[in-house]
Amino acid sequence: MPRTPLRELKVIVGNENVLDHPVDLATYEYDACLARQDPLAVVFVRSTEEVAAVVRVLARWGLPFVARGCGTNLSGGSLAPPGGVVIEMVHMNKVLSLDLANRRLVAQTGIFNLDISTALASYGYFYAPDPASQRACTLGGNIGENAGGPHCFRYGVTSNHVLALEVVLADGEVMWLGSKEADSPGLDLTGVFVGSEGTLGIATTAVLRLLHLPEAVKTLLVVCDSLEQGGNTVSALVAAGLAPSTLEMIDNLTINAIEDSLACGFPRDAAAVLLVEVEGLREEVLAVGEQVTTLCRQVGVREIRVARDESERAALWRGRKGAFAALSRLAPNYLVADGTVPRTQLPVALRKIKQVAESHGLPVANVFHAGDGNLHPILLFDSRDPAQHERVVAACRDILAVCTELGGTISGEHGIGLEKVGAMPLVFTESELRAQHLVKEAFDPGGLANPGKLLPSTSELAAGQSDQSLGRRDRAEATTGFAQKGALHA
């Protein structure tokens, strides 16, 4: 029987853990961005050893791969490379050890983000990064994207909470980066690996830093008369040195979408609301809560509501975290831009984004991490209309340009993926892109780990291209993928 990569993979993980039928593969041809790409195969893995064995086979056959959790990626980073294999991590979802005395948890990376904090709650600890998709997204995906979340305003992003990683490199070699300790000798490879979007290898196990749950939490809903007032309030709160744990903004369009689908108690007539949360010692929460209230009144907001109990608080968060899903009621498709700006520039950024959306004739919703200056303008459209599709891509590019002009950047937490790879020259010079290629080469000289994502290719650099189209290669690459697959199956 001739050897083929698929047969070899089946020997490693068993027939039942390799999907290669087109119907099965269809489930894996998309993530949460607009692009699509069918994989050559999907391989379910259950241990680091299996990942290493699978990757060694792929390396021998020269097949590119991507590790995938639950496909919540918003920039196309978890789509298969053309002709490549998806390594599905969701079965690697175990907590391997919990060391409360040292504030460490070791887990496999296929675990759901929310499951980590749920497992910890009864001990009085938590894992800080809490992306809105935390019910469905995996730790590995969070590591790949350096995920944030509403609470990173106070606690920082994923890279601030991941101390060490067990990784499988693209040649199948397994090694640990970092250590359980806060400081370990050598270059901070963990820091570089977090946020590398699967292009440096596959993280299979992670050592996480745990935090003690706060003693008290106060949740405020600040109702604003205009989006600009909301932006001004955020800038004022940050400038006053008040440090709430979250500072989220939700605009009118989003509020109504949330209320239509979830009925969480947001005021439908508000131009925007700020969801502000203060955490810490009782005394701190009381004092800072009052300072926030005073300052919001000075800015002239319409109303300040305080969540009276845990169920009111939970309802507000259910609304915030369900916002993207709720918006899908309004249009068949949406595109989330993910630019960041210095917090002082928020009011300007919001005004300019509105202008951009209007100039392209697109409705835009805003629900975002205002305290971090991380905008999420959501452009609503119908991808069946090619003209709308073109307009949305152009509008997104213009929005990212607005962010970079204001001193910000093109992605705060959703990653570059496929979607924004063409926009990288907006923020990086050729030298800076070349330096990043040196990192890629040091980890993955063969170029098999999620190629085509995050970095424009070296050939594009050499050609001096600064193609700023948002890297929309879906159909063309899908065709290539099919062709290659056919050849490999033969």
Does 11 sit near other proteins (CB under 8 A)?
no
Contacting residue, 343, 360, 376, 485, with other proteins by CB under 8 A = 343
- Minimum separation from the CB atom of position 152 to other proteins (A): 7
- Minimum separation from the CB atom of position 81 to other proteins (A): 18
Site string for other proteins, 135-164 (x = CB under 8 A): ----------xx-x---xx--xx-xx----
Beta bridge partner(s), residue 204: none
Contacting residue, 56, 61, 91, 179, with other proteins by CB under 8 A = 179
**Contact by Cβ (8 Å): 177, 167:** yes
Does 311 sit near other proteins (CB under 8 A)?
no
Does 183 sit near other proteins (CB under 8 A)?
yes
Sites for other proteins among residues 197-236 (CB under 8 A) = 212, 214-215, 235
- How many angstroms separate the CA atoms of 249 and 224, rounded? 10
- Minimum separation from the CB atom of position 394 to other proteins (A): 20
Q: Which two tokens stand for residue 283?
A: 């005394």
Sites for other proteins among residues 358-377 (CB under 8 A) = 369, 372-374
**Residue closer to other proteins, measured from CB, 47 or 404:** 404
Sites for other proteins among residues 275-304 (CB under 8 A) = 280-284, 286-288
- How many angstroms separate the CA atoms of 408 and 355, rounded? 18
Does 238 sit near other proteins (CB under 8 A)?
yes
**Residue 272, H or E segment:** strand 272-280
Contacting residue, 47, 261, 333, 344, with other proteins by CB under 8 A = 344
- How many angstroms separate the CA atoms of 61 and 42, rounded? 16
Maximum distance among all alpha carbons in the chain?
Answer: 78
Contacting residue, 96, 306, 387, 435, with other proteins by CB under 8 A = 435
Contacting residue, 137, 336, 341, 379, with other proteins by CB under 8 A = 341
Does 438 sit near other proteins (CB under 8 A)?
yes
**Residue closer to other proteins, measured from CB, 148 or 452:** 148
Sites for other proteins among residues 44-103 (CB under 8 A) = 99-103
Beta bridge partner(s), residue 272: 224, 251
**Contact by Cβ (8 Å): 236, 224:** no
Contacting range for other proteins; rule: CB under 8 A; set: 20-28, 252-260, 380-388, 406-414: 406-414
Contacting range for other proteins; rule: CB under 8 A; set: 171-179, 316-324, 379-387, 390-398: 171-179
Residue linked to tokens 């980890």? 443
- How many angstroms separate the CA atoms of 16 and 75, rounded? 30
What is the DSSP code (8-state) at residue 450? Answer: S
Beta bridge partner(s), residue 209: 104
Contacts of 220 (CB under 8 A, 6+ apart): 274, 275, 276, 277, 278, 289, 292, 293, 304, 305, 306, 307
- Segments in 243-385 forming alpha helices (H): 252-261, 282-299, 310-321, 323-327, 346-359
**Residue closer to other proteins, measured from CB, 83 or 198:** 198
- Minimum separation from the CB atom of position 79 to other proteins (A): 17
- Segments in 149-198 forming alpha helices (H): 152-155, 189-193
Using the CB atoms, write b or e for 379-413: b if 16+ within 10 Å: bbbeeeeeebbebbbbbbbbbbbbbbebebbbbbb
Does 187 sit near other proteins (CB under 8 A)?
yes
Does 241 sit near other proteins (CB under 8 A)?
yes
Sign for the pseudo-dihedral over CA of 251, 256, 259, 260: negative
Rounded to 5 degrees, φ, ψ at 64 are: -75, 160
Does 412 sit near other proteins (CB under 8 A)?
yes
Size of the site for other proteins (CB under 8 A): 92
Q: Which two tokens stand for residue 204?
A: 């299979």
Does 424 sit near other proteins (CB under 8 A)?
yes
**Residue closer to other proteins, measured from CB, 325 or 426:** 426
Site string for other proteins, 243-262 (x = CB under 8 A): x-------------------
SS3 at position 174: strand
